[in-house]
Structure 1
Amino acid sequence: MGKTNRSLRILLVKPPAELATIRALERFQRLEPLELSYLAGALPPYHAVRGLDLRLSYRPWRRFVREVKDFEPHLVGITAFSHEYRQALALAQLAKKTLPKVTVVVGGHHATAHPDSFNHPHAVDWVVRGEGCGPFSQLVAALAANELPEPSAALLPTGELFQELAKLPPPVFPPATQLPRPRHDLWDLSRYAIVWTHENPRAFAPLWRPVAMVRSSFGCRMRCSFCPVPVLFGGKHWPRDPEDVAEEIAQLPVDCVYFSDDENFLDREFSLQLAEALAKKGVRKRYFAWVRSTTVLKNPEVLRAFREVGLDCVFVGFEFATDRELRAVNKGATVNHNLRAHELLRQLGIAVHGAFMALPGFTHEDFDTLEAYLREMPPAETSFTVCCPSPGTPNWEQEKARFWVEDPFVVYDCMHPLTPTTLPLDQFARRFARLHHVAAPRHPLRQTRVPLHPGHVLRVEWAHRRYLAHLRHMAAHLARAGWTPGPQENQTQGRSVH
């Protein structure tokens, strides 16, 4: 007699954000939980799979309980970045309380880098590390056959065996061609939108555009010290089949696509093949992609080909305004590379989203240098983070003894410094927030003479003010996480800054 696999009811859950800064950023950009779309795509079609994105709920905890009671899932899968891990654990506990016999599995980046956070047998049954499609589908297949899967470094049972398996390195990521097509149908894509930046807006066009996420490749060959990607992918880059990516994009019900690749155009031949496949299929959509300045300069024909099929904006990690700082993080680019790439992209009609970082060691002079760069650079949308060690990287191990809160993940949004700042924290916070004010006038949509949608302009301004208010209060956020201000901070609270 062969085994009989039962159909399982599976609930895949994206936690709500806990940090006020993350919730504020969601007013500008909210993207579908693509990681859960991939998990669903890896499962046989006879299982009943639901997606639940609690970021969309006004009362997420009540919504979660109602969904668990109504659906009565056999399995609840929860994904979590480091800033979400406490929310994920609380959801696991709530799932067990609501439906005691349900199996709960947790995965995502935090589970890969810090699996110990989820070794709570009363709430979590299994922890997935690394690429989730393989181990998650193994777990589902075993449960469907009324069995338990074989524990491994990729699939850890909480309890007795956990610590032994957690000491093993995360499993190697498989080639992208081995991964399934993600199931975008789990989500109402009309509820996911970003402020769509481009160089030539139509008069009074909406600023927010419904958007879907697509990943055409995995990994990156670069070794930037602040980035976890080299650790997760071993310095490798795997493109998908270009025809498969083009077909996935063609089937999307929305017109705007946000590529979530770590580096979209690193593989020249693949990128050209994908642009050609999109053109041959007559796919008419708009694209946002990530690229390095050195890739732009090395392969301008790739950017030109993608511009012809709809590329509107690219995210470029400029990071810093001096070569000294760029060398310190092993960026592999110079300020001159960044400026030349910026100018070339705008010549091609591609808008630039420039990402910059502030170091905890920044002085007033360092902030002045960055502000001067922002005032003089070509028009760009900009974002700013505080350079923090990434969980799972060598930098994390080197710096963790200096963290000034016991649980750094409580404030791990890359906008709160994890280590002591050279400036008193109150001054650092105000200078960091001021970067956004300095950069805002250089936004391409503010540079245009075309009238913009007035209601959306007001909405952006309100969201911008709310976000900056949270940044200025980072000292209060850290204090709630256990940070105690020293004499220097106490003396400077409430003073004006340089």
Structure 2
Amino acid sequence: MRILFVRPPVPPHTIGLKHIMICEPLELEYAAAGLEGHELQIMDMIIEKGFTKRLEKFKPDVVATSCYITGVNEVIKLCRETKLWNRNCLTIVGGTQASQVPEDFADPAIDCIVKGDGTSMMPEIIEALENGRSLTNIAGLAFPVGPGEVELTAGKAYMPKADDLPLPRRDLVAHLRHRYYYLQHQPVATMKTTWGCWYKCNFCYTWRITDGHPYSRSPESIVKELEQIQAEDVYIVDDIFLINRSRLRKLADLIKEKNIRKKYLVYARADFIAENEDVIAEWAALGLHAVFIGLEAATNSELDSMDKESTVDYNRRAIEVLRRHKIDTYGSLIPNPEYSKEDWERLWNFIEETGLYYVNISPLTPQPGTVIWDLYKDRVTVPREAHGLWDFSHVLLPTQMPLKKFYRNLMKLYAKTVLNISRAKRLTQRTLPSVWTWKYFRMLLGAMKIGRQFLNAHNHHSSKELKRAMYKGPEVPGLVYRPRSNQPVSIKSKSLVSIQPAVEAE
């Protein structure tokens, strides 16, 4: 079969990372990894254009795509465009948002929603299609049956043992390898060694996707992949990579034994860094250049309100440990929509006192599927269907200060932190390129583009812009939802009738 995997473009209203990073579509590389004997292509629409032309040229039997919350409408547009091209082409949607909130994809142009690990489930789906078997017998799927409604097949564990997964198919985007970067890290390869998380922060649903059970690869499996990665810079995208001392020590030994030389960007918790400086020292010698830390806040009361299980003291100590070993801190901060002028000043003082340069500042966003969703869902000021604004940059809750002023304070904090060249030279360790290089200019230009977006962000809340953000593309004439089951039970547990590709109205 011919299977086209597609990463959707970034929505026009979405603010942020698209201007300072484009990383490889690792989730699609994994989804393609188990499909031997088929014609496969990956189209990365953050970089590539011409989806309809690709359909006409490749003539896929299946189009598979995935996204985070911001990309839901873009995914629906792609599936609708696919059905306009050929209604017999099966459309499959997966990814973290599909796993946690499958009803977001309840559109008649979508045939099948994967709620689990695509690497292990795609071969099962394709085999069923080839043999004429109903997809409804496959556990871990969902099917749209009405607006905002899906019916689920039987439940199953999120994924098999992590070491049982094949390695991602990076060869399918080899022609784009030179286009992928993160800030000044280029070329950069992304890598995953753990799915899920050990902690239960109430603003995050990563731990819920895997039912609170993390799946981690062995050091031997990780080294096997590292040996095959061509890029010098490796971005390990686990929510927490630096967490298990024994695993990290064993992995370090194997990296030394294999004489693997890379530059690593990883995620870690502040408390682990503060309490395990010997591990940090060892990894600094191996090539650890930057660590992303969810600092989140400058007060313990804010951290407690997030169920962070950490403290501001740990935040400060972690930054100091990394600085001692010449490792850059990439810190994330979550200002509350109720911030006053004094709160913004306190956050700036924390940034200055700790010497942070690289920061990601994301207003508190209560995503569906998180613990705090039920607490905030009735206060959300942006429609759920305006997915492009759910980007952790737009503020979605009522603000204490005027909305425009809130965005101005957010933008000013970014500007004072990252647009100051003297701060950059004084505070960065290993990762800042010369200010006279293209990489630095690109990073600065990207930061200015983000600033421009924040200048206009308050306008995105107008009825006109919200309507644009909610647009899902032209509907497919005559296409209707799947038939419902005859059992009047909840959406989360309905059994299904046999499903085939899209049904046309008579």
**How would you bin the TM-score normalised by the shorter chain?**
0.7 to 0.9
Q: Counterparts in 2 of 1:62-141, with a 5 A limit?
A: 63-121=50-108, 123-141=109-127
Q: Quickly say closer, same or farther: Cα 1:229–1:450, change in 2 above 3 A.
A: closer
Offset at 1:404? 1.3
Gaps of 5+ in 2: 468-506
Give the whole-Å Cα distance in 2 for the aligned partners of 1:11 and 1:208: 29
Q: Give the number of aligned pairs.
A: 458
Give TM-score scaled by structure 1 length: 0.87
Give TM-score scaled by structure 2 length: 0.85
Instruction: Give the match's secondary structure for 2:234.
Output: strand
Query: What is the identity, as a one-letter code, of the residue corresponding to 2:287?
Result: G
Give the whole-Å Cα distance in 2 for the aligned partners of 1:132 and 1:189: 23
Indicate conservation of the 8 Å contact 1:379/1:444, yes or no: no
Indicate conservation of the 8 Å contact 1:405/1:481, yes or no: no
Give the whole-Å Cα distance in 1 for the aligned partners of 2:96 and 2:43: 19
Offset at 1:169? 7.1
Segment of structure 1 superposing worse, 79-88 or 388-397: 388-397
The answer for the alignment partner of 1:437 in structure 2 is 415
Asked if 1:270 corresponds to 2:284, the answer is no
Q: Quickly say closer, same or farther: Cα 1:447–1:343, change in 2 above 3 A.
A: closer
Instruction: Give the match's secondary structure for 2:362.
Output: strand
Give the whole-Å Cα distance in 1 for the aligned partners of 2:460 and 2:111: 32
Give the whole-Å Cα distance in 2 for the aligned partners of 1:295 and 1:272: 14
1:83-119 Cα distance to aligned partner (Å, 9 max, x none): 1000000000101111222111111122222222222
Indicate conservation of the 8 Å contact 1:29/1:194, yes or no: yes
Give the whole-Å Cα distance in 1 for the aligned partners of 2:45 and 2:433: 37
The answer for the alignment partner of 1:421 in structure 2 is 399
Q: Counterparts in 2 of 1:140-179, with a 5 A limit?
A: 140-152=126-138, 154-159=140-145, 163=149, 165-166=151-152, 171-179=157-165
Give the whole-Å Cα distance in 2 for the aligned partners of 1:146 and 1:66: 29
Query: What is the identity, as a one-letter code, of the residue corresponding to 1:313?
Result: A
Give the whole-Å Cα distance in 1 for the aligned partners of 2:320 and 2:76: 46
Query: What is the identity, as a one-letter code, of the residue corresponding to 2:22?
Result: R
The answer for the alignment partner of 1:181 in structure 2 is 167
Offset at 1:19? 3.5
Segment of structure 1 superposing worse, 386-395 or 171-180: 171-180
Gaps of 5+ in 1: 1-7, 196-206, 484-498
Give the whole-Å Cα distance in 2 for the aligned partners of 1:20 and 1:409: 9
Q: Quickly say closer, same or farther: Cα 1:167–1:323, change in 2 above 3 A.
A: farther
Instruction: Give the match's secondary structure for 1:474.
Output: helix
2:44 corresponds, among 31, 47, 53, to 53
The answer for the alignment partner of 1:190 in structure 2 is 178
Indicate conservation of the 8 Å contact 1:40/1:49, yes or no: yes
Give the whole-Å Cα distance in 1 for the aligned partners of 2:219 and 2:167: 13
Offset at 1:409? 2.1
Give the whole-Å Cα distance in 1 for the aligned partners of 2:417 and 2:145: 50
Offset at 1:388? 0.6
RMSD: 2.3
Give the whole-Å Cα distance in 1 for the aligned partners of 2:434 and 2:237: 30
Indicate conservation of the 8 Å contact 1:382/1:443, yes or no: no
1:153-182 Cα distance to aligned partner (Å, 9 max, x none): 51123348x957349878544432232211
The answer for the alignment partner of 1:467 in structure 2 is 450
The answer for the alignment partner of 1:5 in structure 2 is none
1:225-250 Cα distance to aligned partner (Å, 9 max, x none): 11111211233333202112112111
Q: Counterparts in 2 of 1:444-459, with a 5 A limit?
A: 444-445=424-425, 447=427, 451-459=434-442
Q: Quickly say closer, same or farther: Cα 1:226–1:136, change in 2 above 3 A.
A: same
Give the whole-Å Cα distance in 2 for the aligned partners of 1:116 and 1:345: 42
Offset at 1:443? 5.4
Give the whole-Å Cα distance in 1 for the aligned partners of 2:256 and 2:141: 41
Query: What is the identity, as a one-letter code, of the residue corresponding to 2:161?
Result: P
Q: Counterparts in 2 of 1:309-324, with a 5 A limit?
A: 309-324=286-301
Indicate conservation of the 8 Å contact 2:234/2:264, yes or no: yes
Instruction: Give the match's secondary structure for 2:372.
Output: helix
Give the whole-Å Cα distance in 1 for the aligned partners of 2:192 and 2:279: 17
Q: Quickly say closer, same or farther: Cα 1:74–1:415, change in 2 above 3 A.
A: same
Give the whole-Å Cα distance in 2 for the aligned partners of 1:437 and 1:339: 22
Q: Quickly say closer, same or farther: Cα 1:282–1:85, change in 2 above 3 A.
A: same
Give the whole-Å Cα distance in 2 for the aligned partners of 1:185 and 1:95: 25
Indicate conservation of the 8 Å contact 1:381/1:443, yes or no: no
The answer for the alignment partner of 1:35 in structure 2 is 27
Q: Quickly say closer, same or farther: Cα 1:443–1:385, change in 2 above 3 A.
A: farther
Q: Quickly say closer, same or farther: Cα 1:292–1:308, change in 2 above 3 A.
A: same
Give the whole-Å Cα distance in 2 for the aligned partners of 1:19 and 1:167: 34
RCO higher in structure (CA 8 A, sep ≥6): 2
Q: Counterparts in 2 of 1:294-305, with a 5 A limit?
A: 294-305=271-282
